[in-house]
């Protein structure tokens, strides 16, 4: 697995979810769940799947944490 691609996709998924939701961990979780997983012929499929799965898991498990703490836990910065 290419860690650089994984980190990039993780940030992209979370930024997309933040932009498409109300900005709360619960809203971000719902938006992440609505993202269609990458298909069989998608470039860097493994990295994309792992990033989507990790972001969903982090926001589901830590839904009660403040957003900044979840982002810090993942090592991700988003543009607000």
| The pLDDT value given to residue 37 | 85
Determine the Cα–Cα distance for residues 75 and 35; give it in Å rounded to an integer. 21
Please say if the pLDDT value at position 16 is more than 90.
yes
Determine the Cα–Cα distance for residues 78 and 68; give it in Å rounded to an integer. 10
HSE-CB for 8 with a 13 A CA cutoff: 8
Span 38-48, mean pLDDT? 86
| The pLDDT value given to residue 45 | 87
Give helix then strand counts, H and E, for the chain.
4, 0
Please say if the pLDDT value at position 57 is more than 90.
yes
What's the angle, vertex CA 41, arms to CA 36 and CA 42, rounded to 5? Answer: 55
Q: pLDDT digits over 61-75, tens only? A: 998 899 999 999 999
């Amino acid at each position: 697995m290419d860690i650089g691609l994984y980190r990039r996709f993780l940030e992209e998924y979370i930024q997309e979810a933040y932009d498409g939701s109300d900005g709360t961990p619960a809203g971000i979780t719902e938006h992440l769940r609505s993202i269609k997983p990458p298909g069989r012929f998608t470039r860097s499929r493994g990295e994309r799947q792992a990033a989507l799965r990790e972001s969903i898991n982090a926001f589901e498990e830590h839904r009660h944490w403040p957003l900044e703490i979840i982002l810090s836990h993942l090592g991700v910065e988003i543009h607000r």
